């Protein structure tokens, strides 16, 4: 019986997100993220990250994060059953960097199998693990013990505003 179930068991595409923030030990910068537990998500849902718990699926409780920072959306690759992911910057004030490509407000890019996403002091390694489901995928959060840029000898292009402060406190976009 166990072998019959194994053949029909659905394996979900998984987006593993390993997060690092220099203040993660002292502050609750990750809000209500559940680490080391995979969360099942409908494939047609747009997943929003940011500070506003009324709008965002996943909260980052840091005043320098925009109320709505970025969105992830799954899509099916053309002539394939495989899922891909795109990331879109939804912040008017804070650009995000995906593998050294800077995205300003409403810019989006397809995520490769492995990518590093940075904004403010946050570093996120996003790794896609393939699956076969048409309706769902999983997001799994893990915590990095050290900077991902130092760990992988990666340099990130950080834009520095005229004030010389690299991570300004985010204000409401309507202010």
Give me the pLDDT at residue 28, please. Answer: 83
CA distance 53 to 68: 9
Count of domains forming the chain: 1
List, for residues 5-26, the tens digit of each pLDDT value. Answer: 445 567 888 999 999 999 888 8
CATH classification at residue 124: 2.60.200.20
4 has pLDDT over 70 = no
Residue 129 lies in a domain: yes
Phi-psi region of 161 (alpha: psi -120 to 50; beta: other; left: phi over 0): beta
Residue 53 lies in a domain: yes
Residue 156 lies in a domain: no
Strand partners, 47: 72
171 has pLDDT over 70 = no
Q: What's CA 93's distance to the chain center, in Å?
A: 18
Binned at pLDDT 50, 70 and 90, residue 150 comes out as: low
Give me the pLDDT at residue 62, please. Answer: 85
């Amino acid at each position: 019986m166990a072998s019959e179930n194994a053949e029909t068991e659905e394996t979900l595409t998984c987006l593993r997100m390993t997060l690092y923030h220099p203040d993660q030990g002292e502050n609750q910068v990750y809000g209500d993220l559940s680490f080391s537990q995979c969360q099942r998500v409908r494939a047609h849902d747009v997943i929003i990250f940011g500070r506003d718990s009324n709008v965002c699926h996943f909260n980052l409780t840091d005043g320098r994060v925009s109320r709505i920072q970025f969105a992830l959306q799954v899509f099916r690759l053309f002539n394939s059953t495989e899922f891909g992911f795109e990331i879109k910057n939804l912040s008017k004030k804070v650009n995000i960097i995906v593998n050294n490509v800077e995205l300003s407000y409403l810019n989006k890019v397809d995520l490769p199998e492995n990518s590093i996403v940075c904004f403010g002091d946050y570093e996120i390694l996003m790794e896609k693990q393939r699956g076969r489901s048409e309706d769902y995928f999983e997001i799994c959060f893990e915590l990095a013990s050290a900077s991902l840029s130092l760990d992988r000898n990666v340099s990130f292009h950080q834009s520095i505003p005229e004030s010389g402060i690299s991570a300004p406190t985010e204000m409401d976009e309507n202010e």
